Amino acid sequence: MTSVMWFRRDLRSADNPALLAALADGPTLPLFVLDPALWDPAGPSRRAYLVASLRALRRDVPVSVLQGDPVRRVVEAAQEVGATSVHIAADFGPHGRERDAAVEQALRDAGVELVRTSSPYAVAPDRVKNGSAQPYKVFTPFSKAWGEHGWRAPAGALPSDARWRHLKETVDLPDVELPEGLELPEAGEAAAIDAWHDFADRLADYDEARNLPGVPGTSRMSHHLKWGEIHPRTILADLGGPRGKGPATYRTEIAWRDFYADVLFQRPDSARDYYRPEFASMQYDDPGADLDAWKEGRTGFPIVDAGMRQLLATGWVHNRLRMIVASFLVKDLHVEWQHGARHFMHWLVDGDLASNQHGWQWTAGSGTDASPYFRVFNPTSQGRKFDPAADYIKRWVPELADVADPHEPSADDRDRVGYPAPIVDHQAERREALDRYEAIKS
Ligand code: FAD
């Protein structure tokens, strides 16, 4: 029997249970569909990374690429090769679930079965439940139950006798032009495994170093995980049982990823709307020139501008900076989180609806485990604390490299190097944010 393996965000050959299930059925057509619903809103960094990742996958798996609505394209592909089954890793996002249900119906009408095996998560959404069989709404108990639930061991490597089918006509992968100065990390399964092995030397220090944006203290695995170039199962198996703070904290971060996927599965509306509905009635400002200044990294707050410029230059931002810049947009500029989340999704190579929208909602105070709204990040003291030597600021805001205090340049220094004055007074906006919060609390 012939089968189709429809790749989506599982762009690897090893530890890929859906691919193994397809190959177990017989000769397999490996397929990727460039879906305009996902391609069109993606920014150049995500598009370019996806294309690079598909090219890398093709070194091991001869993927045929089609373009268009998967509901039509997957059925056409299955019919062309006479497949009786189409294999996928389950998608739990709002768009993915709807799309897969529509594809499943169309395949059924054509006499082809859609088979879901595994997911992009260590523990798939809707599995971890509390004693009353309800999903968790708070991370810490979720994380404990998640650890107790456990996960499968990695699936095997790609069999050497894999038999492949091809489509007669496929589309060429497009060359994506990147804006000047944007440099992306290397894509693909081999790069993911190298990055993971490279991080092994830094894992012991992860618990401390992960908060310092000026040093390479985090793993930089998020884009590899996002595109499934490596599965969290593989990572968790390498981490083994508890052995020191570094590995334990790293395991907790993987649990956050699964938690947010679970939360989004339970509350698909939280991709767009406030997880805590009372926040919808808070007073926000219409986004205008301030939002543009934030996007372009010229707010006059060096640590904020460094983060925003890192995003535009690399398609990635350090977690500490994601929190600082998000807090600044919502609490200093009083702009609704959705505007910032959209900008992030446009540029982040690791842009993931669940982690991104809930990272934003957490910072905005409207999400699960919300950081208390009254805890407003002071961008300058965050910079001083987490980037004490201003290495990070100097890297991304190079005009501040030689000023006396890169965290808070004097007016003279700003004039001299052409760096803008702060667009707001942080203390005044902090009070304003708290007043607006008081109004919805009562
Ligand atoms: P590491 O510190 O090495 O963490 C290891 C892995 O754990 C990450 O690769 C990621 O898969 C997972 N992880 C770590 N922190 C979190 C977290 N808070 N939530 C969920 N998963 C986590 N992460 C994304 O993958 N995609 C996003 O679109 C995204 N948007 C975010 C937006 C905001 C406003 C915030 C505050 C956080 C966001 N995060 C997002 C989470 C986190 O910032 C990134 O996962 C992390 O910076 C990626 O770098 P790393 O791989 O070096 O992280």
User: Which residue, by CA, sits nearest to atom 15 of ligand 1?
Assistant: 253
Quickly tell me which residue has 């998560």 as its tokens.
121
| Identity of the residue numbered 71 | V
350 lines ligand 1 (CB under 6 A): yes
Separation CA 412–CA 199 (nearest Å): 42
Final residue in a domain of this structure, among 240, 266, 292: 266
Quickly tell me which residue has 């859609």 as its tokens.
114
Same domain, 232 and 349: no
Phi, psi of 373 (to 5 degrees): -55, -35
Final residue in a domain of this structure, among 266, 294, 312: 266
Which atom of ligand 1 is nearest to 351's Cα? Answer: 28
Q: Can you give the pLDDT at residue 33?
A: 98
Same domain, 79 and 13: yes
Same domain, 293 and 431: yes
**Displacement of CA 234 from its chain's centroid (Å):** 18
Same domain, 333 and 212: no
Mind listing the pLDDT tens digit of every residue in the chain (442 residues)? Answer: 999 999 999 999 999 999 999 999 999 999 999 999 999 999 999 999 999 999 999 999 999 999 999 999 999 999 999 999 999 999 999 999 999 999 999 999 999 999 999 999 999 999 999 999 999 999 999 999 999 999 999 998 999 999 999 999 999 999 999 999 999 999 999 999 999 999 998 999 999 999 999 999 999 999 999 999 999 999 999 998 667 899 999 999 999 999 999 999 999 999 999 999 999 999 999 999 999 999 999 999 999 999 999 999 999 999 999 999 999 999 999 999 999 999 999 999 999 999 999 999 999 999 997 667 888 999 999 999 999 999 999 999 999 999 999 999 999 999 999 999 999 999 999 999 999 999 998 7
Final residue in a domain of this structure, among 67, 94, 119: 119
Q: Can you give the pLDDT at residue 370?
A: 63
Six-digit token pair at 291? 């939002």
Q: Is residue 247 part of a domain?
A: yes
Q: Is residue 160 part of a domain?
A: no
Q: Is 239 helix (H, G, I), strand (E, B) or coil?
A: helix
Question: How much distance in Å is there from the Cα of 240 to the middle of ligand 1?
Answer: 21
Same domain, 304 and 437: yes
User: Quick one: which of 367, 150, 341, 355 has its CA closest to 256?
Assistant: 355
Quickly tell me which residue has 């495994």 as its tokens.
193
210 lines ligand 1 (CB under 6 A): yes
Per residue in 196-252, pLDDT (tens digit) is: 999 998 999 999 999 999 999 999 999 999 999 999 999 999 998 667 899 999 999
Separation CA 65–CA 71 (nearest Å): 15
Separation CA 27–CA 29 (nearest Å): 7
- How many domains is the chain partitioned into structurally? 3
Q: Is residue 259 part of a domain?
A: yes
Q: Can you give the pLDDT at residue 441?
A: 84
**Do the beta carbons of residue 368 and residue 362 sit within 8 Å?**
yes
**Neighbouring residues of 333: CB distance < 8 A, sequence distance ≥ 6:** 285, 290, 291, 294, 423, 424, 429
Question: How much distance in Å is there from the Cα of 14 to the middle of ligand 1?
Answer: 23
Same domain, 387 and 351: yes
User: Quick one: which of 214, 340, 225, 334 has its CA closest to 284?
Assistant: 334
Six-digit token pair at 62? 């001869």
Which atom of ligand 1 is nearest to 353's Cα? Answer: 28
* Torsional class of 317: left (φ above 0), alpha (ψ -120 to 50), beta (otherwise): beta
323 lines ligand 1 (CB under 6 A): yes
Same domain, 71 and 148: no
User: Which residue, by CA, sits nearest to atom 42 of ligand 1?
Assistant: 319
| Identity of the residue numbered 392 | Y
Owning domain of residue 357: 277-441
Question: How much distance in Å is there from the Cα of 222 to the middle of ligand 1?
Answer: 6
Say what the ipTM of the complex is.
0.99
Same domain, 320 and 375: yes
Q: Can you give the pLDDT at residue 87?
A: 98
Same domain, 207 and 260: yes
**Do the beta carbons of residue 60 and residue 13 sit within 8 Å?**
yes
Phi, psi of 30 (to 5 degrees): -85, 130
143 lines ligand 1 (CB under 6 A): no
Count the neighbouring beta carbons within 10 Å of the beta carbon of residue 408. Answer: 18
Same domain, 316 and 358: yes
260 lines ligand 1 (CB under 6 A): yes
221 lines ligand 1 (CB under 6 A): yes
Quickly tell me which residue has 């005044």 as its tokens.
428
Separation CA 63–CA 118 (nearest Å): 20
Same domain, 36 and 145: no
Q: Can you give the pLDDT at residue 375?
A: 85
Half-sphere exposure of 112 (CA within 13 A, CB side): 27
**Residue spans of alpha helices (H) in 335-390:** 337-347, 353-364, 379-386
Sign of the dihedral through C-alpha 425, 360, 225, 206: positive
pTM of the model: 0.97
**Displacement of CA 351 from its chain's centroid (Å):** 4
User: Which residue, by CA, sits nearest to atom 45 of ligand 1?
Assistant: 222
Q: What is the CATH number of the domain that holds 250?
A: 1.25.40.80
User: Ligand 1: which of 45, 121, 222 to mutate, judged by most atoms within 8 Å of the beta carbon?
Assistant: 222
**Neighbouring residues of 49: CB distance < 8 A, sequence distance ≥ 6:** 184, 185, 187, 223, 227, 315, 349
